Structure 1
């Protein structure tokens, strides 16, 4: 687990400047993705965490209108850039495998194309950590590349894996979530990525009943 985090941090750290140049601003993101994150944000209450925040642009979007939002990322270069670009927001170097917040303290967690680098056998543990950190009624939004579940693909920076809504949904239910929806869209000419996109939303039930 630690070696996986270390290798991901090293891979992104070695190409952080390049990544920031091509995908480090909200204006470079697909408008449909921005709209999806905004819709999800506005359906949540309470503090928000951008898990695997990268350069911080999604954290800044979560923090609009005075929302309490923070970002966490393995890559020191990303966190340094995020702190300098969005000085009013808290960013921390760390792993979303061990989120540094009390149990049931978050209203929402965004994992936007950050879970894709987690080895498939370890995804359930990460989802369980998300469930621990979320308060009853708290929401989760995961963005990922759609394909044969658990199959690796040639990501430009670090090893990554395809998922689909059905398989991730099963893992989410096992971790204590209720799946509430999701979206799919094909890759279009001109996009940075070259693969189909998908997302899934889920919540922690407010009570066992």
Structure 2
């Protein structure tokens, strides 16, 4: 029997359905303005390509980053909780696979992925539910597989995780050390991190954590 979908995900899906077209327009070229993120995505692609196995872009939105990973040579597909976002992604990139789904209960076999990208898709998850999501990511990653996690960082590293007024739905800023600790508890080892100041329209410090499910043997 399928696990019930947490109630907050219904709200997130509805909120993104309402803004899907506008969101797609605003963020279609966002990577053009993010050279550091592009570099980290390229490094992620190199690591996963050497390992082999498909890559899931969780919270793929309209699919522009999924397509970018495909251009970097990855066997990648997208998953999003918003039906409207999935429809836009399929229309824009018909050569790629996009599925409706949630990060809390992925319809994927154990150890089936070489990599997972969760770019600003974990930010809407209530902090108490984050460990379960990371456990699900650990489940689907093959030994040696990588997770690249993007999120908004707190301005003060000593500040606890807290909600902020996101334009679409309630979201949370995380101290990178605190999220790294949760990754470790889920069995994922931090490999690298990037934290940078906001630019242009960004509303706070941007953070990326690269973590790995340890190889066996």
TM-score of the aligned structures, taking structure 1 as reference length: 0.94
Counterparts of 2:193 and 2:31, CA distance in 1: 23
Asked if 1:137 is matched to 2:144, the reply is yes
Counterparts of 2:17 and 2:28, CA distance in 1: 14
CA-to-aligned-CA distance 1:132-152 (integer Å, 9 cap, x gap): 000000000101111034200
Shift of the alpha carbon at 1:77?
A: 1.1
Decide which of 188, 194, 199 is 1:183's aligned counterpart.
Answer: 194
Counterparts of 2:116 and 2:198, CA distance in 1: 25
Q: Judging changes above 3 Å, is the alpha-carbon distance between structure 1 residues 149 and 53 closer, same or farther for their aligned structure 2 residues?
A: farther
**Equivalence for 1:206:** 215
Which segments of 5 or more consecutive residues in structure 2 lack a partner in the other structure? none
Counterparts of 1:4 and 1:29, CA distance in 2: 31
**Equivalence for 1:48:** 55
CA-to-aligned-CA distance 1:21-62 (integer Å, 9 cap, x gap): 111345555222222212111111321000000010111111
Counterparts of 1:67 and 1:168, CA distance in 2: 26
Counterparts of 1:105 and 1:90, CA distance in 2: 16
Secondary structure, counterpart of 1:43 in structure 2:
helix
Decide which of 167, 170, 175 is 1:164's aligned counterpart.
Answer: 175
Asked if 1:9 is matched to 2:13, the reply is yes
Say whether the 8 Å CA contact 1:106–1:134 is kept in structure 2.
yes
Runs in 1 of length 4+ with deviation above 3 angstroms?
25-29
TM-score of the aligned structures, taking structure 2 as reference length: 0.90
Which segments of 5 or more consecutive residues in structure 1 lack a partner in the other structure? none
How many residue pairs align between the two structures?
Answer: 206
Say whether the 8 Å CA contact 1:59–1:69 is kept in structure 2.
yes
